[in-house]
Amino acid sequence: MPTFTALTTLPGEVPAGALAEALEALHPAPTGVGTFEIEDGSGLWEIGAYFEAPPDETALALLAAAHGAQPFAVSELPEIDWVAKVRRELVPVEAGRFFVYGSHDAHRVPTGRIALLIEAAMAFGTGHHGTTQGCLRALDRLVSLGAEKRRVADIGCGTAVLAMAAARVWPGPVWASDIDAVAVEVAQANARANDLGERVICLEAAGFAHPELDAAAPFDLIFANILKGPLITLAPDVAAQLAPGGHAILSGLLVGQAEAVLAAYTAEGLALEAREDIGEWATLTLHRPPA
């Protein structure tokens, strides 16, 4: 079945949300609508809609004009078996002691490594992105330094690869939360596939807004691999939920955004311990001084 996309941009989160809501009322109705901030400092947001039939381009043009957006770019996507494509193109990832792989590469798992299975059908957060690799390498560094973390939280967990990595190196519980219900289902499926279903506790939550996270705090380690804006917004909560002597590993930010994020966290009393840039992405390891 063919799929059609309609994409545009406009400045501001609120206008982007309003346009996304208006798109949902189109006929034919889109099968999905999404918005996200373009992380280049421009302040622009991208709004996209997916259709199973050619969209009404006149209606799209009117919506764009009414909301002050750029004209929609409409295109038809080729019919591709995306899971098969991902399986062909995604090779295992090594990040320190961690080895992240799909089941089609199970024969390539080396001995003596901590193996984490992420299926190709759940490709977001497989470890191939520079942000996830950076977080895994930061975790590997903490383990090499002899860190012991009893309580760990992975905020914005995606596929829960970071939560599972922490559960492999330390015996305590790990809480994995995401604002997206589908991501939580993926996280749960991955935890079960790695025999961690009892150890990785998957929750649907915006940031730390969940009673189980409140009850579990303070945490010895917090992962937040999200985006610059949410990272800055979360800075007071991360600092409040982090135990004295605890660490926060932050990523999802471009190299040019690292200083702004760092400033938000140092203002909350956290100190930079390490930074690693992988390509255009930065990962920060921060610590809270002991009491």
Q: What is the pLDDT along the chain (291 residues), one digit of tens a residue?
A: 678 889 999 998 889 989 988 998 888 888 888 888 886 678 889 999 988 888 999 999 999 999 999 999 999 876 655 555 555 555 677 788 998 887 676 677 778 889 888 865 443 444 446 788 899 999 999 999 999 999 999 999 988 999 999 999 999 999 999 988 888 988 999 999 999 999 999 999 999 999 999 999 999 999 999 888 889 999 999 999 999 999 999 998 888 899 999 999 999 999 999 999 988 889 999 999 987
Tell me, what's the pLDDT at 81? Answer: 56
Q: Residue 114's CB: how many other CB atoms inside 10 A?
A: 17
Predicted confidence at residue 83, as pLDDT, reads 53
Same domain assignment for residues 135 and 275: yes
* Cα→Cα distances 88→82, 84, 102, 120, 132, Å: 10, 6, 11, 9, 20
Amino acid 129: pLDDT: 65
Strand order in the sheet with 3-11: 32-37, 44-51, 3-11, 73-77
pLDDT at 229: 85
The structure's pTM equals 0.73
Name the H helices within the chain.
13-23, 57-67, 82-89, 130-144, 161-169, 181-193, 211-216, 228-241, 258-266
Model pLDDT, residue 124: 47
pLDDT of residue 154: 97
DSSP H/E element including 115: strand 114-117
CATH of the domain at 24: 3.30.70.260
Cβ proximity of 140 and 97 under 8 Å: yes
User: Is 265 inside any structural domain?
Assistant: yes
Between CA 19 and CA 37 the distance in angstroms is 14
pLDDT at 253: 87
Residues 6+ apart with CB under 8 A from 13: 35, 37, 45
Given 53, 77, 101, which residue is the final one in a domain? 77
Same domain for 20 and 145? no
What's the CA gap between 177 and 174, in Å, rounded?
10
Give the model's pLDDT for residue 37: 83
pLDDT of residue 182: 82
Q: Is residue 202 in some structural domain?
A: yes
159 and 265 share one domain: yes
Task: Work out the widest C-alpha separation in the chain, in whole angstroms.
Answer: 62
Both tokens of 161, joined, read 């690869």
Same domain, 63 and 134: no
Asked whether residue 72 falls in the same domain as residue 184, the answer is: no
Same domain, 140 and 49: no
Phi, psi of 132 (to 5 degrees): -70, -40
d(CA 266, CA 154): 20
Q: Containing domain of residue 17, as a range?
A: 3-77
CATH of the domain at 233: 3.40.50.150
Q: How many domains does the chain have?
A: 2
Q: Which residue is associated with the tokens 């305590």?
A: 172
| Cα 258 from Cα 251, distance rounded (Å) | 9
